[in-house]
Amino acid sequence: MSFAMWSLVAGLLLISMALSGTSVRRLPVTAAMFYLLVGVALGPWMGNYFAPDPLLYSTLLERVAELAVLISLFAVGLKLGLPFRDHGWLLPARLAVVSMTLTVGLIAALAMGLMHLSLGAAVLLGAILAPTDPVLASDVQVADVGDRDRLRFSLTGEGGLNDGAAFPFVMLGLGLLGLHDLGQHGWRWMVGDVLWASAGGLAIGGGLGAAIGRLVVYLRSRHQESVGRDEFLALGLIALSYGLAVLVHTAGFLAVFAAGLALQRVKERPGVMESAAVAETLLQNAEAHEALATDGRHASAYMTQEVQGFNEQLERLAEVVVVLLAGAMLAYIHLPPRAGWFLALLFLVVRPLSVSLGLIGARVSRDQRLLISWFGIRGIGSIYYLMFAINHGLSRALAEQIIALTLSAVAVSIVVHGVSVTPLMAFYVRRKRRVAKPVQPLPPAAPP
């Protein structure tokens, strides 16, 4: 496809989504469903305008998906404003560690018993499909840093944590296939890929996010320097935390997520832009922007708001690109026998069972537990780990089978979760309001 045709298609797609954004939010569909259909239409199945063969272009596809995951994880970190000491963090932590570990094991057992994969291939498939997606789950994400809803916070936090937490299981699967050194009795995997990678990634990202955030706020509020260019700050912090984490063999995804969390928590002085006068001033002129950016009371909140706004736009663009590619790649899959049963059990049994076991004793309502069990949305993280595994030497036959199961799971997730998210979340909000509504006292009895 020529550059002019690419320009035409991209322009029509982006303008259509900009004009229909409000209408789409009211319908039982998501933007990702539309991107997926456009990808199918442009791919080899229909228009054949581009052909992203996952085996031929696995390196390029890995880089594209990797960039999209990094942007989304940083954006998620910026949204989660709950203090770390709050018990609300236990829910996403249990989902990202306990439930995800159970998910890997259950998928592996299912893949061995139903799809007749080897242990290594089954564990690898489980690791690829286990992480939930923070980008495609935007309709169930927290709305802002002040959102304390347990359902939204749990799903958002889970999506931010488990993209990085899946890395050790991917390396375990590759190791069982003979494509990665696990060490004698697995010691290298446990020490390097699990403990060091996880702790080191969180420490590096958290340290860099806090240090750079404090430096920027200090320069702005005390010296009126380093004002503007917040988009460079966002991209720079993502690149710096990820690059350093990977160079020292830690989890880069966790580092970027932690950097977003730490940056959002930087405060020069207590307080945020709470007054209507401040919000009105913010929109008036460039001088007002600079005044807020350098005001010690608002510098940190202003910085976070500007970085988050830019990053959310990047996140939407990344979603368009990766889901379009996923739709086009569907032409290259050949579903193996019993794949339909595998996908049905993945969404209807594996996710609910792993969530139920992982949240035993947790303080969540029945509605919240059921919706958390359903909204295990698969997406960009799974595509990244799929390409990562292919580039680490999977045989062609095994790669084709895992490609088929992964891409079909992502496509089914985009459709079924996209259709259900609007009515289910509307139902949840109505039920929540009904429960929270105070009971009106009975009128006093009439005198005899």
Instruction: Please state, rounded to an integer, the average pLDDT across all residues of the chain.
Output: 84
5: in domain: no
DSSP string, 55-115: TTSHHHHHHHHHHHHHHHHHHHHHH--S-TTSGGGHHHHHIIIIIHHHHHHHHHHHHHHHS
Residues 74 and 311: beta-carbon distance below 8 Å: yes
Please check whether residue 53 lies inside any domain of the structure: yes
What's the structural domain count of the chain? 1
Which residue range forms the structural domain that includes residue 181? 13-21+28-432
Residue 7 lies in a domain: no
The answer to whether residue 439 sits within a structural domain is no
**CATH classification of the domain holding 361:** 1.20.1530.20
pLDDT digits 0-9 by tens, 123-142: 999 999 999 987 666 678 88
Over residues 163-189, the mean pLDDT reads 94
Domain for residue 447, yes or no?
Answer: no
Is 308's pLDDT higher than 90? no
Q: What percent of the chain has pLDDT over 90?
A: 50
Predicted confidence (pLDDT) at residue 207 exceeds the cutoff of 50 = yes
Residue 196 pLDDT greater than 90, yes or no: yes
pLDDT above 80: residue 267: no
Confidence of residue 194 (pLDDT cuts 50, 70, 90): very high
Task: Tell whether 64 is covered by a domain.
Answer: yes
pLDDT surpasses 70 at 111: yes
Q: Is residue 3 part of a domain?
A: no
Contact yes or no for 9/49 (Cβ under 8 A): yes
- Is residue 171 within 8 Å of 180, Cβ to Cβ? yes
- Residue 123 included in any domain: yes
